[in-house]
Amino acid sequence: MSKRRDKRFMGEAYWLALWNYGLTGDNPSVGCVIVDKTGAVVGEGVTAEGGRPHAEQIALDEAGERAKGCTAYVTLEPCRERSTGEDACSKRLIDAGIGRVVCAVADKHPKGAGGFAALRKAGIPVLIGIKKDQVSWLYEAFFAEHS
């Protein structure tokens, strides 16, 4: 994968996250774009108003079986754990057979942090920091309240 392509699709994930910024309750607004090897977007999502479902869940539902082997571009580290008891986003990505995860910002929230470790443990390569300078402001207030 090229760095240029990674920046392009992270930019798309960022714009998705902007759509519901301030509308997601206690959860941060996250954007997720799932892209196949040819560069086609097969799923995209943004954290829903009120905070649920999460962006990854929406994007994976849209992608369905096409998610296998794809790259997921996510503005914030996929959660390690959910307060609702539902499957965490990192587990959903693993179960869908995602081939690679590119993320802008690591999560400092106690239930979010650890998603990268879960993905790597499952053998999924993770690239962190793409467009971090552009995206990180979205999560400053969330981290200040929940870290």
Which residues are annotated as catalytic? 56
Work out whether strand 31-35 and strand 71-76 pair parallel, antiparallel, or are unpaired: antiparallel
Residue 15, judged by CB atoms within 10 A of its CB (0-12, 13-18, 19+), counts as middle
CB 19 within 8 A of CB 49: no
Crossing angle, helix 55-63 and helix 89-96, to 10 degrees?
20
Residue 103, judged by CB atoms within 10 A of its CB (0-12, 13-18, 19+), counts as buried
